[in-house]
Structure 1
Amino acid sequence: MEPHLEGGLTTSRAPAGGGDGATAIRRADYIPIIIACVLVALAGLGVVWLVACDPLDPRYPTFSVDVAGLDGLDGPEPAPTVNPAFNLTLHGVSPRCHIMSLGMCQERGAVAVSYAGAVLAWGRVPTFCVPVHGQRHVGMVALGADVGLSDELRGRMASERMSRSAELEVWTVIFQKL
């Protein structure tokens, strides 16, 4: 500090280096803390991914079926014998977030459509492949010929038709190509 000549006031001057050397050291002390926080966050995300996706367990594709349309069940009341036809779509999806996600090729299969336990129609599943981390949609047709319906089943079908809803069961069996 230097005395000011006129009023006895003192002034301070910064060192020639442009700043306090301790400030630079304190900033450098934060770098390991920041790196540690980033590593902990990445490790946490890794644990969440392991729990959510379970990458070491191989996953086959999952399948679902939609009824795209039907024919042969028209009219206010079903006949004692019906000839139904169902247009179906089979959806196969292989998990995307999974390391061990497996594709699958199917060489043969069967599909059956039933109502209240009575099989109405059946058909074959065409050959298809679900790629790894991908999806495939396959059209199928199930046909029934002279399917007999009991009086109870016909009455139930007629009442559900009036409410414009019916619960169908679709059974699909597919065999993986080896």
Structure 2
Amino acid sequence: MEPDDLEANLSPSHAPAAMKPETIMACMVAVAVVIAGAFIVFYPQDTLLPTFSVSVDAAAGLDELDGAPAPANATFALTLHGVTRPRLLRTLGICNERGTVAVSYAGAVLAWGRVPQFCVPAQGREHVRMVALGGDVELSDELSSRLVSERLWRTAELDVDIMLDRQRYLSCRVKPDVDGPSPCKVFLLD
């Protein structure tokens, strides 16, 4: 740079060009689209699926147990509750064409049955009634006595395992002597 240029207030560099409002707006829209796309792609999908719970509406055949080894002919009337909660972007409902249910106590299967066809709509709920029937299940002295004792104190817990369309396994722990649904853990099988 020569001294004459400085004295004349001339700069050797060019003045910055002004940004057009259309360019700024286009950049802002592009950034918003990228952020929204990343949110959709990386948002946890399991939170978008329905949650399930099970309630025992009636249990028959367990009252005949007296702590002695005897066949148990238990029957359970169950209700599967499926709920899809509203989410920010999208929710997924599911439909089930076939399924099985098994009710067990301390690993001993007491009753089993089929789950009827049902659909839980997106942002909706469905209640499915099913029956699990037992057939002369032999319980040991210890197991029978423990079940009778726990039922007296209303602390007995049964495992309800439900397989839906060989794709979704629900594991629920219910108290047959306590009203209300119990939440299920959902496992997706691939």
Rate the CA distance shift 1:113–1:54 in 2: closer, same or farther, 3 A: farther
Alignment of 1:1-178 (within 5 A): 56-58=43-45, 59-75=48-64, 77-78=66-67, 80-175=70-165
Secondary structure at 2:52's aligned position in 1? strand
Q: Which consecutive aligned stretches of 4+ in structure 1 deviate over 3 angstroms post-superposition?
A: 53-58
Can you list the C-alpha shifts for 1:15-65, whole angstroms capped at 9, x where unaligned?
A: xxxxxxxxxxxxxxxxxxxxxxxxxxxxxxxxxxxx9x9994442211111
The answer to whether the 8 A contact 1:56-1:99 is kept is no
Q: CA RMSD in A?
A: 2.7
**What is the Cα deviation at residue 73 of structure 1?**
1.0
Normalising by structure 1, we get a TM-score of 0.64
Q: TM-score, normalised by structure 2?
A: 0.61
**What is the SS of the residue equivalent to 1:120?**
strand
Quick one: structure 1 residues 109 and 96, their matched pair in 2 at CA, closer, same or farther if it must change by over 3 Å? same
Structure 1 stretches lacking a partner, 5+ long = 1-50
CA contact (8 A) 1:54 1:98 kept: no
The structure with more radius of gyration: 1
Does the aligned pair in 1 maintain the 2:65–2:144 contact within 8 Å? no
Length, aligned pairs only: 129
